[in-house]
Amino acid sequence: MDGSCLNGRVLVVTLLLSIAASLVESQGTRVGFYSSTCPRAESIVRSTVQSHFRSDPTVAPGLLRMHFHDCFVQGCDASILIDGPNTEKTAPPNLLLRGYEVIDDAKTQLEAACPGVVSCADILALAARDSVVLTSGATWAVPTGRRDGRVSRASDAANLPGFRDSVDVQKQKFAAKGLNTQDLVALVGGHTIGTTACQFFRYRLYNFTTTRNGADPSTNAAFVSQLQALCPENGDGSRRIGLDTGSANRFDNSFFANLRDGRGILESDQKLWTDASTRTVVQRFLGIRGLLGLTFNVEFGRSMVKMSNIEVKTGTAGEIRKVCSGVN
């Protein structure tokens, strides 16, 4: 390769990185936003998440899911945290969210160190990243500078991605937030950690179809038997089952291997393999021969940055709440 070609490629890469940085800046966020106003902001959030994680590792997937649910409704503005009747946290998709106490704890410490400076929305974005790192995932730089929203309505949560959604519906919901198909697959890959309740997938095991004993034909037959033993047809619907069988506490790409093998728990997850438009992305995360590979940890971080800049509020469009879970 001659020098001019190499220099040209370097220029293109530099230009692309500059464009990406400017897009983030245009949203009003940047990496190191609190470097002068609250230098210990990120370390305080990190140590708080670590402390809670040591006593209860399930807060990690809880915080990651909470950030996702926050960003998809009214943007990443911590509106999911607001207490009160008919707020987002009272909506059916959000009733089982957990980890609020972690955000409140971090906020209390930050208010003592830097009163009125760090938003609840930024605390949640940082806590989600720290949760991935604590479960053996890769880190990424989190742009900060979000302000907190003032509006929280349960009705706005109706368009959250759902466990019965087709891939087309999932793509529509993600595209509406500026996220593409690769972002969709990467972010759903966050299900590599955490659990779900039998009530959200048991219908796939019984009377789903008139063939193969009524089970969802996209599910591995032997796996169906395992799940039926864990989730009997008339059993406890609240029983928790790992979303990434065999690796529910470790952030890795085994979630995608399970989809390939017909061992996805949620219907919407398994459809990422059965639908050709998303299967290729899953295969790239798995490093299937003949396809340009993608490193899941790296792409997940990139997609998280994109998601965390959805409809960010800045200036007078938001505020810095003194208490994250305050009454609306």
pLDDT tens digits, 85-117: 999 999 999 999 999 999 999 999 999 999 999
The answer on whether 73 is annotated among ligand-binding residues is yes
Tell me the sheet residues that pair with 144.
30
Beta carbons of 121 and 146 less than 8 angstroms apart? yes
The reply to whether 75 sits in an annotated binding site is yes
- Asked if 69 is an active-site residue, the reply is yes
Q: Is 246 annotated as a binding residue?
A: no
- State yes or no: 133 annotated in a binding site: no
CA dist 206 and 215 (Å) reads 5
Q: What is the pLDDT of residue 20?
A: 45
**Contact assessment for residue 59 and residue 53, using Cβ atoms and an 8 Å cutoff:** yes
Confidence at residue 227, expressed as pLDDT on a 0 to 100 scale: 97
Q: What is the pLDDT of residue 12?
A: 40
Catalytic residue among 67, 69, 107, 271: 69
Residues 287-327 pLDDT 10s: 986 666 789 999 999 999 999 999 999 888 899 999 998 65
* Non-local CB neighbours of 157 within 8 Å, separated by 6+ positions: 69, 73, 88, 91, 92, 93, 94
Sorted by where each begins, the domain ranges of the chain are 40-159, 167-305
Element (H, E) at 241: strand 240-242
| Contact by Cβ (8 Å): 111, 41 | no
- The domain 167-305 is placed in CATH, from the list 1.20.1250.20, 1.10.3720.10, 1.10.420.10, 3.40.50.300, at 1.10.420.10
Residues of the chain with pLDDT under 70: 1-27, 210-212, 289-292, 326-328
- Residue 322: per-residue pLDDT: 94
The confidence score (pLDDT) of residue 211 equals 66
40-159 sits in which CATH class? Answer: mainly alpha
Residue 88 assigned to a binding site:
yes
Q: Check the annotation: does 161 bind a ligand.
A: yes
* pLDDT for res 25: 41
Say what the pLDDT of residue 328 is: 44
Supply the pLDDT for residue 129: 98
**What is the model's pLDDT at position 313?**
93
